Amino acid sequence: MRADQQIQINTLLLAREELFVRIHDLEKSAAALLGEPYPFIRPALPSDPRSKRKPSGSGTGILPVGLKKSPPTRDPLRRLEGLETAYRVTYQRSGQTVTEDHDDLDALRTLLASQGKNLSVTRLETIDLGGRTKSVLLDSAP
Give 54-102 as a 3 state SS string.
CCCCCCCCCCCCCCCCCCCCCCCCCCCCCCCCEEEEEEEECCEEEEEEE
Q: Where are the chain's structural domains?
A: 1-38, 77-142
Q: Which of 5-9, 32-36, 66-70, 92-96 has the lowest mean pLDDT?
A: 66-70
pLDDT, tens digit (0-9, with 9 covering 90-100), for 104-123:
888 888 888 888 888 888 99
List the beta bridge partners of residue 99.
90
Please tell me whether the overall predicted TM-score, pTM, comes out greater than 0.75 for this model. Answer: no
pLDDT, tens digit (0-9, with 9 covering 90-100), for 29-78:
988 888 887 777 777 777 777 766 665 555 555 555 555 555 555 567 88
Nearest 10 degrees: CA dihedral of 37, 41, 42, 46?
-150
- Residues 31 and 38 sit within 8 Å (Cβ to Cβ): yes
Position 90 confidence tier, pLDDT thresholds 50, 70, 90: very high
pLDDT above 70: percentage of residues in the chain: 81
- Residues 97 and 89 sit within 8 Å (Cβ to Cβ): no
Arithmetic mean of pLDDT, 129-133: 90
Question: What is the C-alpha separation between 53 and 57, in angstroms, rounded?
Answer: 12
Arithmetic mean of pLDDT, 12-41: 86
